[in-house]
Structure formats: structure tokens, C-alpha cells
């Protein structure tokens, strides 16, 4: 089911959690809402689910007004960060809950419910836990049960709020993979909220980057990483070196030093953003920035070096291949290969 969000505003007191948000989600898409805490991503998810109402704006499911309907009538599956399983019910009963509370007219028979729950537990590969209670499960298992429970009502939309946020790194990685595969299998329109860029880039078809109640950029994972639309996106996704520069008449200066980079549209005080691995390291004179290597660490295929720029005391961290070993004390030059310049806000 397609979702359309139009000009949503939501205020908590004087704080604008959402400040005019527009978003279109195509049927069958797996979308990530990515942003720091307080960016409004969870609020947006809750509004789509019907757990919160906006102060202004529209939410449409396949062109139909969703705001007129309550959470129970929207046919939306919602998965919480902390699972929110019913502690007094067995795993089986947790998954069966959505089927048991259906109005009598459309409620399935006991045998049908059993078959459906079995099918879902198979889907999340936890059929052997049916008789257990939530307190006896690991975090990863609980989250998969929560997902099975949400899928029981055959939702047309699946919403996940930081679904892997409470899990340890290894389980998180497994579940990410698993969520991708699951989505390919059942193909329900899904939106998940995360503050973990790696998770968003790895799992989603499209990523929505949010900050301070506004959408900063919408694009494919490759897009938001390679072509960040704003200084915020560049800084938030992937590690960036940020250098304060001054742009005058198409010339970019760091302090008094003229840099061999193109100014683009920026004018006046700006920031130069460079990815760590996009900083070309060379002998003195080869690049437009110069500095001294302070410290070098090597891991795997790269070496990471702290370089103190001469002229000002800025310390930048760069990643370089290991074919040209660096040692502390070396005088080197730096030249940004790929970069973006955004006006300083």
C-alpha cells in the first residue's frame, strides 16, 4: 500500500517535533527514516501508525484519508524497540492476539488461528518456542516474535521503531539481513526508524534523512552517501573531515592558504566537507594543504593517520591505503579528491 504524508506539523508545547514534512512511500518499498534523536522520525512513524495525531497535515493510504481512522482500523503492524510483548502470554498467544481480538463476524476458527500462528512462527524460524514465555527468550528472539505478532493481522503497512536498537551488535547484524530477506519474501510496504546510518544504508531501498523535524534528503543509500544534499547530511552519514573555509570570487581559502578546489555555489564563510578516504595524501608540494603526521594506526587494508595542518592547529583524521606507509613526523601534503562545500549556517 502506498503512503502519502502531506505537510505534517506536530508540536509538543513550543517544540516542533515535525515542521512541515512531505513524504511519499511507494507500495512494497522498504524505507528507512534516519536521523539523530529528537529529529522527529519516531513521531512521524507514530502519526502514520495512528498512535499520535498531527496538528496539521494529511496522511493518506492509497489516496484514502488515514487520519480519520484509529490505530486499530488502519491495519498497520507496529514493532517497538523494546518489543512490548505481553508478558503473561505464551509466545503462541502473543502471536495469536491480533487474530483473537477480531470482531466475531470475521474471526477465524481456533484451527485456522493455530495454523496461521504456526505459519508465522515458521516464518520467523521460532516455531520451537511456541509454548515459552517472553521472559525466557533472548532479545533477538523477542523482536522476531514481536514481528510475527505484527504480521499476524496481515498488515498492509509494517512500521518498525528502532527495531534493533536494544540488541547487541552481532544479533543486530543478523536481524538486519533477516529483515531484508523477509521483506523480499512478503513485500509489505515497510518503514523503519533508526539512528544507525549503517543500518539504514544496508537494509533500506530508500533512505529519508531527518533533522530537527524536517526532511533533509530522500534518496537511495548510494545517493545520500555520495551526493549529500546538505551539510547536515554530509556530516551525519559517513565520517567527514570538516574545514572552515572562506569563499571569495570563486576562490576557496583556508586561513590565508588558497585551496585548489572548486567553489561551486558557495559564497562567504563556508565549510569544506571531505570523506576521510577522499583525501589524497602525497609528498610536500603535490597538494594544496600541508601538514605533519602525528600518529598512525593500521587496521586491515587501510592506515588511519592524524595529520596536523600547518598554518592552523587543526587535526584531521584521514584513511589511506597501506601501499605508501606513513610514519609519525612525516611532512605530507593533502588534496581533496571528492568534496562538497556548503555555506556555513
Partner 1 sequence: MSAAKHRRTLPGFGLTMGLTLTWLSIIVLIPLAGLVLKTFELSFDQFWTIITSRRTLNALKTSFGLAFLAASVNLIAGMIIVWALTRYRFPGRRIFDAIVDIPFALPTAVAGVALTSLFAQNGWLGAPLAELGIKVAFTPIGIFVAMVFIGIPFVVRTVQPVLQDIDREIEEVSACLGANRWQTIWRVLLPSLLPAMLTGFALAFARAVGEYGSVIFIAGNLPNISEIAPLLIVIRLSEFRYADATAIAVVMLLTSFLVIFAINRIQRWSQSRMVRP
- The residue among 119, 105, 109, 103 whose CA lies nearest residue 154 is 119
Q: Considering the complex, state which of residue 89 and residue 343 has its C-beta at the smaller distance from partner 1.
A: 89
Which residues, 6+ apart, have CB-to-CB distance to 139 below 8 Å? 83, 166, 167, 168, 171
Which residues, 6+ apart, have CB-to-CB distance to 101 below 8 Å? none
- Nearest approach in angstroms of CB 119 to partner 1 is 17
Contact 321, 280 (CB under 8 A): no
- Nearest approach in angstroms of CB 174 to partner 1 is 24
- Nearest approach in angstroms of CB 117 to partner 1 is 13
Give whole-number Cα distances, 39 to 34, 134, 269, 342, in Å. 9, 32, 26, 21
d(Cα 76, Cα 262) in Å, to the nearest integer? Answer: 48
The contacts found for 120-126 with CB under 8 angstroms, 24 or more apart, are 120/95, 120/148, 120/151, 120/152, 121/91, 121/92, 121/95, 121/148, 123/148, 123/151, 123/182, 123/185, 123/186, 124/148, 126/91
- Nearest approach in angstroms of CB 142 to partner 1 is 13
d(Cα 197, Cα 220) in Å, to the nearest integer? Answer: 13
- Nearest approach in angstroms of CB 244 to partner 1 is 44
Q: Helix or strand or coil: residue 131?
A: coil
- Nearest approach in angstroms of CB 107 to partner 1 is 11
Q: Considering the complex, state which of residue 112 and residue 136 has its C-beta at the smaller distance from partner 1.
A: 136
- Nearest approach in angstroms of CB 108 to partner 1 is 13
- Nearest approach in angstroms of CB 295 to partner 1 is 44
Q: Considering the complex, state which of residue 89 and residue 296 has its C-beta at the smaller distance from partner 1.
A: 89
Q: Considering the complex, state which of residue 100 and residue 322 has its C-beta at the smaller distance from partner 1.
A: 100
Q: What is the 3-state secondary structure (H, E, C) of 269-288?
A: EEEEEEEHHHEEEECCCCCC
Q: What nine digits make up the cell of 244? A: 572552515
Q: Considering the complex, state which of residue 50 and residue 140 has its C-beta at the smaller distance from partner 1.
A: 50
Q: Considering the complex, state which of residue 82 and residue 294 has its C-beta at the smaller distance from partner 1.
A: 82
Q: What nine digits make up the cell of 153? A: 493481522
Which residues, 6+ apart, have CB-to-CB distance to 43 below 8 Å? 10, 17, 18, 52
Q: Considering the complex, state which of residue 78 and residue 342 has its C-beta at the smaller distance from partner 1.
A: 78
Residues that bind partner 1 (CB under 8 A): 49-51, 70-73, 75-78, 80, 82, 84, 86-89, 97-98, 100-102, 132-133, 135-136, 149-150, 152-153
Q: Considering the complex, state which of residue 136 and residue 260 has its C-beta at the smaller distance from partner 1.
A: 136
Amino acid at each position: 500500500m502506498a503512503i502519502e504524508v502531506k505537510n505534517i506539523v506536530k508540536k509538543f508545547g513550543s517544540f516542533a517535533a515535525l515542521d512541515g514534512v512531505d513524504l511519499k512511500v511507494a507500495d512494497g518499498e522498504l524505507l528507512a527514516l534516519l536521523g539523530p534523536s529528537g529529529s522527529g522520525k519516531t513521531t512521524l512513524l507514530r502519526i502514520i501508525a495512528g498512535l499520535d495525531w498531527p496538528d496539521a497535515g494529511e496522511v493518506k493510504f492509497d489516496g484514502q484519508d488515514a487520519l480519520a481512522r484509529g490505530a486499530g482500523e488502519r491495519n498497520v503492524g507496529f514493532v517497538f524497540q523494546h518489543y512490548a510483548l505481553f508478558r503473561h502470554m505464551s509466545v503462541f498467544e502473543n502471536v495469536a492476539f491480533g487474530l483473537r481480538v477480531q470482531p466475531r463476524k470475521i474471526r477465524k476458527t481456533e484451527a485456522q488461528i493455530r495454523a496461521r500462528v504456526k505459519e508465522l512462527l515458521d516464518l520467523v524460524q521460532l516455531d520451537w518456542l511456541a509454548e515459552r514465555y517472553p521472559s525466557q527468550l533472548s532479545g533477538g528472539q523477542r523482536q522476531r516474535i514481536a514481528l510475527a505478532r505484527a504480521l499476524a493481522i496481515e498488515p498492509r503497512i509494517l512500521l518498525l521503531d528502532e527495531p534493533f536498537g536494544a540488541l547487541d551488535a552481532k544479533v543486530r547484524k543478523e536481524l538486519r539481513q533477516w529483515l531484508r530477506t523477509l521483506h523480499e519474501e512478503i513485500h509489505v510496504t515497510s518503514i523503519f526508524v533508526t539512528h544507525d546510518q549503517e543500518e539504514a544504508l544496508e537494509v533500506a531501498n530508500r533512505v529519508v534523512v531527518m533533522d530537527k523535524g524536517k526532511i533533509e534528503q530522500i534518496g537511495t543509500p548510494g545517493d545520500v552517501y555520495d551526493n549529500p544534499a546538505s551539510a547536515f547530511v554530509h556530516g551525519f552519514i559517513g565520517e567527514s573531515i570538516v574545514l572552515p573555509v572562506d569563499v571569495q570570487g570563486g576562490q576557496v581559502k583556508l586561513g590565508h592558504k588558497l585551496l585548489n578546489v572548486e567553489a561551486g555555489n558557495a559564497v562567504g564563510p563556508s565549510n569544506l566537507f571531505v570523506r576521510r578516504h577522499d583525501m589524497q595524501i602525497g609528498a610536500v608540494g603535490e597538494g594544496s594543504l600541508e601538514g605533519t603526521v602525528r600518529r598512525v594506526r593500521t587496521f586491515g587494508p587501510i592506515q588511519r593517520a592524524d595529520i596536523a595542518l600547518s598554518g592552523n592547529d587543526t587535526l584531521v583524521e584521514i584513511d589511506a591505503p597501506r601501499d605508501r606507509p606513513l610514519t609519525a613526523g612525516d611532512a605530507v601534503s593533502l588534496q581533496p579528491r571528492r568534496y562538497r562545500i556548503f555555506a556555513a549556517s
